A and B are shown apart, each in its own frame.
Chain A
Amino acid sequence: MRDRRPPVAAMRFLRWYCSPERFEEISGDIEEVFEEALQNEGLTKARISCWLLVAKCFKPYAYQRHSKKSKSNFTVMYINNLKVAYRNFSKHRSYGFINLSGLIIGMISCLLIASYVSTELSFDGFHDDVDRIYRLRMDRFSNKEQIFQSAVTFPAVGPNLHKDQAAVETFLRILPFGGGVYTHSDENGNISTFNEDKGVYADSNFFQLFKFKLLKGSPEDVLSGPNKVVISEGIASKYFGEADPIGKTLNYRGNRDLEVTGVMAEMPTNSHMHFEIIQSMASQGELYNRFPENWGWYDFYTFIKLNPETNTNDFQESLTNYLRNYKGERFDESGMHETLHLQPLKEIHLYSNLSWDMGENGGAEAVYFLMVIAVIIMIIAWSNFVNLATAQATKRAKETGVRKSLGAKRKELIGQFLVESFLYNLVAMLVSISAVVLLLPQFNELARLSIPMTIFLNPIFISGLLVLLIIGTFLSGLYPAFVLTSFDPVQVLKGKQSRVKGGVLRKSLVIFQFCISVVLIAGTMLVVRQVKFMKSQDLGISIDETLVLVSPTSIADRQDLIDRSAVLKNKLNGLADIRSVSFSSNLPGRENFSIGGFAARSRPEDYQDIYLVSCDYQFMEDFEIEFLDGRGFSEDILSDTNAVIINEVAMNQLQLENTQTALQDHMIFRNGDRPIIGVVKSYHQESLKKELDPVIFLLNAERGRYYSLKLATTDLPKLIEEVEKAWKEVFPQSPLDYYFLDEQFDAQYKSDEIFNKIFMGFAFLAIFVACLGLFGLISFSAAQRLKEIGIRKVLGSSEIGIMFLLSRDYLKMIVISMMIAFPATWYLMDLWLRTFPYRTAIKPDIFALSALITLIIAVGTVSIQTAKAAAANPARSLRNE
């Protein structure tokens, strides 16, 4: 019997759309028709026709609400408000468009920046219990003075902390040295071999602590046991093609076979880790077994997960001096000590600015800076709205007068203007959302970002939009609403123009807008100059025309590698286009991971952290490193194999008085003291954003990680071909990995340059929006003074005179804004420059130039409008009336 009822869903749909007072009769009718159809045509047909009928009844008579309440004055008035807003927009279309385009540009920049910011904030947030995962960072002090803050620590820290502290649920170490040549040879003898640089070692719980997706293999055991490796999808297809890589073998650096136990998805872009190959930590072999006692080797990123109940402040307290329990004696001996600190996983990407960090981190300032710019652009756009709305007040005074005399309350009138500003903001927001969706790929490319489209579906993002809309409505609508509704209706309707209020505010907003513009222009110029300054600065080392080959890592036999390197060196030296070849363990443009504590013989207690670079006989000469005193390594003096050269910074840190005392001193090494034979001027190992480092140079003539070729040619393709040929003869198993030193070095400024571009782009937008507002204001005041201009012209005033008359006020405002902007700019610039150890000077021409640019833009904007007004035929403006 139940089945013979009309379809439930159809009736539910009817109930949904139908107004309650009509529902009973209409549903009754439909049921009656259904009953009849049921008798005549059967169930299925009856059901179908019932559905059709419900659909057909979906008409106004059914869904319109008929209660008397719904057509209250209130709603009617608001509908009328919409109408009036639309009419007002079409009547003053140019102001409307200026308002809208300003808001749209502002919102586009706001949305782009917001999408960037929310991507940045989302970093590493996808791991489970992310709030409980911390990285341990380490500070080292020498005699209470901090030497460095490091992202890495000792391998013993993790296991011992886990043992000693109940709060530590689990620990995980990552060792970043899994790069090098990986080789796979298949059954048919085909060999695929590549140099990989995104390889690491990790403890077996890597995939349990972090939620990186494993496509093959189980998170619990992919990394348990020695010589296991998990590779990314990309690596898998590179080496194994379509075949299933599980169980296959990858050879690492020619000396170890690794079993592929898992395949992971590419790590998401919003993770600060970007590994492609993860070897099991146990692959470190004998060393691995002694990790829990190893308190010396600090190259391990150590993550811990704390119990939910842990009080992090208390835990941090116990952590700070934790190392003293194990290294107390060593601390007292060397005068150095280290402290451990918690660093929340989620904060690594934005706030971490440590030595030996994983990738580029610490962009928080740039993020906050862009947020400020977004807010500023929005405020400029809203100021335009306020300015234009109040400037138009007299025009709309009659409207409010009539409304008031018909009994509108002030509250309702304010509501009306708020509705108007809401509409403007809403339309601007809709347009800018669609624009941003279109622009996002380009923005990603320009800023080298990878913001996903899905960001727009993020609930936080959407609620942010709503907040922006509401704030915008009130910020831009409230003040004009008060001004516009303040008129006395009697005065207005009598035709007496009451003075427009809001003049002071309008002026100060214009001044504010131009202040910001000047600051932004000057700021852009300074940032560009600083980067240029850093790039042009003498590095103390010649990195031009240098081709660098990376030593192969596939040869396990040390002696074999040395022999082959010598052969390669000979071959390369034989090429006409190569002036010279030198070996070294490190080169500028790379972070030096080789560091140790050293003391001079004269002050044996005073250990200093000093970087080590080993190089061959040619290195100093090839790179034109300047000697302050002493000499370089010489092939003729056999004892030089045991000698060292130090740089100026090292000399000062070791508190050697001058180069003479340094040359008589020795450095203490574990296997004996080594004489200092030379002191060189310090050169920049990394970008000029970093200070100069202390360095000890050791001699290693036989090999080095990098082979630097000084070039004597500009025909690079030919040269590289020749080099490749020589390489293939010597290292047939290894792919050639080369780069140009100066390019690599300049790449360190890439992020600054990108930031500059973004900064300039938004600065330009801010100025553009400000000019839009100015344009609107001037055209408005010109329109208001049309008659005055006409009379003046008739009385013989010149066009230039009229232009000046119209622009005088605005020029005054611009000059005032500059006077405010200059000290502010100077202060901000100084603040920013202080973050760089090497900084360009703030020269007055920056102010002059930015003032000039602002003036040209502003005067340009003003004169377009004033010229038009001044050129108008006075007969036209005076004829009517």
Chain B
Amino acid sequence: MKRTNLGEFEELVLLTVGILFDNAYSVAVAKELAAQSGRKVGISAVHPVLYRLEEKGFLSSRLGEASASRGGKRKRLFAITVAGKQALDQSMALRSKLREQIPSAAFQNL
């Protein structure tokens, strides 16, 4: 059976795809993610994640317009699916639910 939960990086990529909305393709995702997180993110890291998320059904894709800067090649544009949104929501809900349950005493000695 395929794994349907989200990895940490997968979650970030999924979120970024959502942010970019209409222009979510690998180069843009990599740039946005790098800018937002301060991590070094290359397209070779983003590619497999995008394809995997598509395989899991969290993303859908279509081929976009060709542009000169890409040597006349089309780009693959991704969009979040219903399942993707559910997975994001679930993950967020789970996190905040867990976060809320931490007693404030646990942070006292930090």
Contact = CB atoms under 8 A, between A and B. Distances in A.
A213 to B, nearest CB: 54
A27 B73 contact: yes
Contacts of A25: 25-26, 63, 73-76
A62 B71 CA distance: 19
From A5, A28, A60, residue with most partner B Cβ within 10 Å: A28
A28 B70 contact: yes
Contacts of B73: 24-25, 27-28, 31
Interface in A107-161: none
A28 B71 contact: yes
Contacts of B52: 61
Interface in A10-40: 24-33, 35
B9 to A, nearest CB: 14
Contact of B44 (A5, A35, A53, A60): A53
Nearest to B26: A29
A56 interface: yes
A71 to B, nearest CB: 14
Contacts of B44: 53, 56-57, 59
A864 B89 CA distance: 71
Contact of B48 (A5, A33, A61): A61
Interface string A52-72: 010011011110000000000
A772 B36 CA distance: 70
B60 to A, nearest CB: 15
A24 B70 CA distance: 10
Given A53-B42, A56-B42, A56-B44, A29 B69 contact: no
A757 B7 CA distance: 69
Nearest to B69: A35
A59 B48 contact: yes
From A32, A53, A60, A61, residue with most partner B Cβ within 10 Å: A32
Contacts of B42: 53, 56
B75 A27 contact: no
A27 B47 contact: no
A567 B15 CA distance: 113
Nearest to B44: A56
B75 A28 contact: yes
Contacts of A6: 71
Interface string B13-35: 00000000000011100000000
A27 B71 contact: yes
A53 B26 CA distance: 13
A28 B42 CA distance: 14
B43 interface: yes
Interface residues of A, number: 20
Contacts of A24: 63, 73-74
Contacts of A60: 48
A873 B82 CA distance: 68
Interface string A698-738: 00000000000000000000000000000000000000000
Nearest to B50: A61
B47 A26 contact: yes
A595 B78 CA distance: 99
Interface string B39-63: 0001110011001100000000001
Given A24-B73, A35-B69, A56-B42, A29 B48 contact: no
Interface in A778-837: none
A796 B27 CA distance: 84
Contacts of B63: 24-25
A53 B76 CA distance: 18
Given A25-B63, A25-B76, A61-B51, A31 B43 contact: no
Interface residues of B, number: 19
A32 B27 contact: yes
A28 B66 CA distance: 9
A29 B76 CA distance: 9
Contacts of A32: 27, 69-70, 75
A17 to B, nearest CB: 13
A337 to B, nearest CB: 87
Contacts of B43: 29-30, 33, 53, 57
A26 B44 CA distance: 9
Contacts of A61: 47-48, 51-52
B71 to A, nearest CB: 4
From B44, B47, B73, B75, residue with most partner A Cβ within 10 Å: B44
A53 B74 CA distance: 19
Contacts of B74: 24-25, 28
Interface in A383-419: none
From A25, A26, A61, residue with most partner B Cβ within 10 Å: A25
Contacts of A5: 71
Contacts of A33: 27, 43
B50 to A, nearest CB: 9
A25 B61 CA distance: 12
Contacts of B75: 25, 28-29, 32
A67 to B, nearest CB: 15
Nearest to A60: B48
Interface in A335-350: none
Nearest to A64: B51
Nearest to B46: A29
Contacts of A29: 25-27, 43, 47, 70, 75
A57 B76 CA distance: 16
Contacts of A31: 69-71, 73
A56 B75 CA distance: 19
A62 B47 contact: yes
A296 B59 CA distance: 100
A30 B75 CA distance: 11
B53 to A, nearest CB: 11
A27 B75 CA distance: 9
A78 B25 CA distance: 38
Contacts of A53: 42-44
A32 B73 CA distance: 10
A6 B42 CA distance: 17
B59 to A, nearest CB: 14
B27 to A, nearest CB: 5
Nearest to B43: A29
Nearest to A5: B71
A25 B65 CA distance: 11
Interface string A293-332: 0000000000000000000000000000000000000000
A464 B47 CA distance: 46
Contacts of A30: 43
A133 to B, nearest CB: 61
Given A29-B27, A33-B27, A57 B47 contact: yes
Contacts of B51: 61
A28 B74 CA distance: 7
Interface string B74-110: 1110000000000000000000000000000000000
A487 B69 CA distance: 66
Contacts of A26: 47
Contacts of B27: 29, 32-33
B17 to A, nearest CB: 15
A61 to B, nearest CB: 4
Contacts of B47: 26, 29, 57, 59, 61-62
A26 B47 CA distance: 8
A24 B65 CA distance: 12
Contacts of A56: 42, 44
A60 to B, nearest CB: 8
A62 B43 CA distance: 12
12 contacts: A25-B25, A25-B63, A28-B73, A29-B26, A29-B27, A29-B75, A31-B69, A32-B27, A35-B70, A56-B44, A57-B44, A61-B52
Given A29-B25, A29-B75, A32-B27, 10 more contacts: A5-B71, A25-B26, A25-B76, A26-B47, A28-B70, A28-B74, A28-B75, A29-B70, A32-B75, A33-B27
Question: Top 5 nearest A-B pairs by Cβ distance?
Answer: A28-B73, A56-B44, A28-B70, A31-B71, A25-B76
Interface of B: 25-27, 42-44, 47-48, 51-52, 63, 66, 69-71, 73-76
